[in-house]
Structure 1
């Protein structure tokens, strides 16, 4: 006897499938997760995965995007603070997010290097650009194309530092925070010579 399926609104069913995929991909690479396993984890048929996402690859990309994109909300309590303090508070917030999302975020954010695929790289690039915009906003700096270009490389360093801190234990949180704060300040401060 099989359990009756709960009827959900399309947006809720899509979210249910996405959350199941995020859970599976948090600990295992794309190639090790089958469509049948994704369907079973979500409590749906394989056909529903195809209906909502097209195929396993599109579901993976949606799960990755949900894991690596920073929320588009302003950090509270930064008004009136000097740039250095704003940078430290912002990077602390990012480290807190890395702790919250844990290994899933670290794995997903590094996936572009592992798979070398242009669609995965596009998701990572989108996440890096959004992160640069959010950091500029938190620092009280204009959303300037040159400043965003200067900050995007900091995203790669941030991911690497988080991997070292969270997965390898080679940095303490304070060491990671100091390094990332100094880096962001270096990248957004134009040299005057």
Structure 2
């Protein structure tokens, strides 16, 4: 990366710039290898100024993780104007496109050293909970009545999606479309009786 020409910014703009630089660097290296010295140099500010916005290197890394989670939620926001099953497919398409565009950072966050940090895990959990809440909100439109059993199945499906996506990014043994179909059909399969799931997916 080339250093950014130093310009005057508001505190909010400067903080956002520092986080954005970290998120861009995350695409090239694991989170734990993002250096605050290098970020400060890229931003054209002193290391001391960076710590004016973030109490520690850990806090800065945590802000990058929060930024990545928020970006994924924005990118996968469901289009509620679509028919129910198409809402699910469009969100899965957006998710697969997001992880494909951010493969290094995605794998680094979920499988790298950051995944062992309690505060980082809390951030990952917040993102997963937001995704689960979106799905639970839309299930009645698919004829699925939310409840404790369904909520547990949805969380299991999210874990399946993460592991499947990481495996596919490392070794894409099936096509992108096949991956999307696998993820989409898995949700009704784990939340509904087999005949009902097959009818919903047009496989009866």
TM-score (norm 1): 0.79
> What is residue 125 of structure 1 aligned with on the other side?
125
Instruction: Report the CA distance between 1:92 and its aligned residue.
Output: 1.9
Q: Tell me, in whole angstroms, the C-alpha distance in 1 between the residues paired with 2:145 and 2:65.
A: 25
> What is residue 28 of structure 2 aligned with on the other side?
27
CA displacement 1:124-183 (0-9 Å, x = unmatched): 111110111223345447995734433223222222222222332223212211221122
Q: Tell me, in whole angstroms, the C-alpha distance in 1 between the residues paired with 2:41 and 2:147.
A: 44
Instruction: Report the CA distance between 1:24 and its aligned residue.
Output: 1.7
In 2 relative to 1, CA 143–39 (structure 1 residues): closer, same or farther, beyond 3 Å? farther
SS state at 1:174 partner: helix
In 2 relative to 1, CA 157–5 (structure 1 residues): closer, same or farther, beyond 3 Å? same
8 Å CA contact 2:154, 2:191 repeated in 1: yes
Q: Do structure 1's residue 163 and structure 2's residue 166 form an aligned pair?
A: yes
SS state at 1:8 partner: coil
8 Å CA contact 1:98, 1:105 repeated in 2: yes
In 2 relative to 1, CA 155–40 (structure 1 residues): closer, same or farther, beyond 3 Å? farther
> What is residue 61 of structure 1 aligned with on the other side?
62
Q: Structure 1: which 5+ runs fail to align? A: none
> What is residue 104 of structure 1 aligned with on the other side?
105
8 Å CA contact 1:68, 1:105 repeated in 2: no
> What is residue 81 of structure 2 aligned with on the other side?
77
In 2 relative to 1, CA 176–191 (structure 1 residues): closer, same or farther, beyond 3 Å? closer
Q: Structure 2: which 5+ runs fail to align? A: 196-204
TM-score (norm 2): 0.76
Q: Tell me, in whole angstroms, the C-alpha distance in 2 between the residues paired with 1:14 and 1:143.
A: 43
Q: Tell me, in whole angstroms, the C-alpha distance in 2 between the residues paired with 1:128 and 1:138.
A: 16
RMSD: 2.9
> What is residue 134 of structure 1 aligned with on the other side?
134
In 2 relative to 1, CA 176–115 (structure 1 residues): closer, same or farther, beyond 3 Å? same
Instruction: Report the CA distance between 1:191 and its aligned residue.
Output: 8.0
> What is residue 14 of structure 2 aligned with on the other side?
13
Q: Tell me, in whole angstroms, the C-alpha distance in 2 between the residues paired with 1:134 and 1:111.
A: 27
Instruction: Report the CA distance between 1:25 and its aligned residue.
Output: 2.1
Q: Tell me, in whole angstroms, the C-alpha distance in 2 between the residues paired with 1:44 and 1:152.
A: 42
8 Å CA contact 2:15, 2:53 repeated in 1: yes
8 Å CA contact 1:26, 1:104 repeated in 2: yes
Q: Do structure 1's residue 176 and structure 2's residue 179 form an aligned pair?
A: yes
